[in-house]
């Protein structure tokens, strides 16, 4: 059995239409109700409305990505118990609409973070890029976070200062915009708001955040178990602390803790090769084997790192991750299951005609279609190879 081929779609305002998706080879949609503010309940009416739009094109809504976890839940402040109850109700409403794979993350304040959305590749296409010195520049000189220098080496601090003096005001504004860009279609942070949210984490250590996450899981797992909902936790992106915030889904030890702290089949993962692969310390095959049949959704993306820990998003079959080995291991798990695991080509380069169009960062049509085609070919090749078990 092969994996289910899906495509992330950001709703009616997505520049890549559902009609476009039909031509990519994908048959399933991964989406969310991005217009609903974090913490509010997704009503059955709104879920059915989105589902109906998708199904009119003969596609299916296979995975929710994502139901955001409200910041108050992560810090256990203010009305966090009400927000957990709202989360439970949203899960119930999705289950009533027969949508039962739910992706989410537990990253404090920021979601995925990059410093350049248009890194020029050798072939002229554009990729997403993470540069530690540029992040330090933003953190120290623009955000002006207290004790920010403690998060960086002397070499990075020096380079950040040098760049801050050299960059034009427009380039500094662009850097801020990129770092704060967040998820397409959702409300973006500004520097003032980010400072306020960082203040809420003054007393939140790794161990405290882990306990808050465990508590959150304990409150929602009973609903998931009763209604056959599969929670697919997305790892941190990038998989290390930033802005002095603890990140707790970055390493194999983090994965071990999460699986064992609430040992229930509903408590699973979205295996993201790009997120885990951005750290040289992560062995992706070991992580896949550890999660095993609690991998409920897969993001396939490749990265290329340098010695400083900077990385760009490479072609899907290139980069530092052995995508053949990753795909083979996931397909091996797939053969033990009765239903297909959905996967999607995660991100893609802006290339060809898409370079002249409006696109959500990382979510151009042609770049992802190239990635999906390569991954489909890889999947078919492995399934028919002589060394396939």
Active-site residue 126, yes or no?
no
Give the model confidence (pLDDT) of 100-122 as tens digits.
999 999 999 999 999 999 999 99
Active-site position among 346, 349, 354, 365: 346
The per-residue pLDDT for 250 is 98
388 pLDDT band, cuts 50/70/90, is: low
Tokens of 165: 């003096």
Instruction: Go through the domains of the chain in sequence order and give each one's CATH number.
Output: 4-114+193-383 (3.20.20.150), 129-190 (no CATH)
The per-residue pLDDT for 387 is 63
Q: What percent of the chain has pLDDT over 90?
A: 94
Active-site residue 241, yes or no?
no
164 pLDDT band, cuts 50/70/90, is: very high
Active-site position among 212, 234, 316, 349: 234
Active-site position among 34, 83, 126, 347: 347
**Residue 388 vs residue 27, higher pLDDT:** 27
- Rounded-to-integer distance, Cα 197 and Cα 210, Å: 18
What mean pLDDT value characterizes the chain? Answer: 96
Alpha helices in 227-268 (DSSP H): 252-261
pLDDT value at 69 more than 80: yes
Active-site position among 62, 272, 315, 316: 272
Task: Please tell me the pTM assigned to this model.
Answer: 0.96
Q: Three-state SS for 276?
A: helix
Q: What is the mean pLDDT of residues 130-154?
A: 97
The per-residue pLDDT for 198 is 95
Q: Does residue 258 contact residue 233 with C-beta atoms inside 8 Å? A: yes
- Beta-carbon contacts of 326 under 8 Å, excluding residues fewer than 6 positions away, are 273, 284, 285, 288, 300
Give the model confidence (pLDDT) of 278-293 as tens digits.
999 999 999 999 999 9
Q: What is the mean pLDDT of residues 313-334?
A: 97
pLDDT value at 30 more than 80: yes
Active-site residue 227, yes or no?
no
96 pLDDT band, cuts 50/70/90, is: very high
pLDDT value at 389 more than 70: no
182 pLDDT band, cuts 50/70/90, is: confident
Q: What is the mean pLDDT of residues 206-219?
A: 98
Active-site position among 34, 299, 316, 349: 299
Active-site residue 38, yes or no?
no
End-to-end, the C-alpha distance of the chain in Å comes to 12
The per-residue pLDDT for 187 is 79
Alpha helices in 146-279 (DSSP H): 154-166, 169-179, 191-199, 206-226, 252-261, 273-277
Give the model confidence (pLDDT) of 253-311 as tens digits.
999 999 999 999 999 999 999 999 999 999 999 999 999 999 999 999 999 999 999 99
Alpha helices in the chain (DSSP H): 18-22, 44-55, 71-75, 80-96, 132-137, 154-166, 169-179, 191-199, 206-226, 252-261, 273-277, 284-291, 323-334, 365-383
Q: Does residue 113 contact residue 166 with C-beta atoms inside 8 Å? A: no
Q: Does residue 239 contact residue 282 with C-beta atoms inside 8 Å? A: yes
The per-residue pLDDT for 152 is 97
**Residue 1 vs residue 12, higher pLDDT:** 12
Active-site residue 35, yes or no?
no
Active-site residue 306, yes or no?
no
């Amino acid at each position: 059995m092969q994996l289910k081929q899906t495509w992330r779609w950001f709703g009616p305002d997505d520049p890549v239409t559902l009609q476009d998706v039909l031509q990519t080879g994908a048959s399933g949609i991964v989406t969310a109700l991005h217009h609903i503010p974090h913490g509010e309940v997704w009503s059955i009416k709104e879920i059915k409305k989105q589902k109906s739009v998708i199904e009119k094109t003969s596609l299916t809504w296979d995975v929710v990505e994502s139901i955001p976890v409200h910041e108050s839940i992560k810090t256990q402040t203010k009305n966090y118990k009400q927000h957990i109850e709202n989360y439970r109700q949203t899960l119930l409403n999705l289950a009533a609409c027969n949508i039962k794979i739910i992706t989410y993350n537990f990253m404090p304040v920021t979601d995925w973070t990059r410093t350049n959305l248009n890194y020029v590749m050798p072939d002229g296409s554009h990729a997403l890029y993470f540069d530690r010195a540029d992040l330090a520049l933003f953190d120290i000189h623009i955000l002006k976070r207290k004790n920010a220098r403690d998060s960086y080496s002397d070499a990075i601090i020096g380079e950040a200062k040098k760049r801050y003096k050299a960059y034009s005001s427009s380039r500094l504004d662009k850097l801020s915009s990129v770092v704060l860009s967040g998820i397409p279609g959702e409300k973006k942070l500004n520097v003032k708001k980010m400072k306020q949210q960082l203040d809420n984490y003054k007393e939140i250590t790794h161990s405290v955040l882990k306990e808050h996450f465990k508590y959150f899981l304990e409150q929602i797992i009973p609903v998931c178990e009763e209604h056959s909902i599969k929670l697919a936790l997305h790892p941190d992106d990038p998989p290390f602390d930033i802005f002095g915030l603890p990140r707790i889904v970055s390493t194999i030890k983090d994965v071990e803790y999460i699986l064992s702290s609430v040992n229930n089949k509903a408590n699973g993962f979205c295996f993201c090769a790009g997120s885990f692969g951005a750290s040289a310390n992560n062995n992706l095959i070991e992580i896949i084997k550890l999660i095993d049949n609690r991998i409920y959704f897969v993001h396939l993306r490749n990265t290329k790192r340098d010695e400083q820990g900077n990385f760009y998003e490479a072609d899907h079959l290139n980069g530092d991750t052995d995508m053949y080995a990753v795909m083979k291991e996931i397909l091996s798990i797939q053969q033990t299951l009765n239903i297909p695991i959905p996967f999607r080509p995660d991100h893609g380069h802006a290339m060809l005609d898409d370079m002249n169009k409006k696109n959500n960062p990382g979510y151009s049509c042609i770049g992802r279609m190239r990635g999906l085609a390569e991954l489909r070919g890889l999947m078919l090749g492995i399934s028919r190879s002589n060394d396939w078990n």
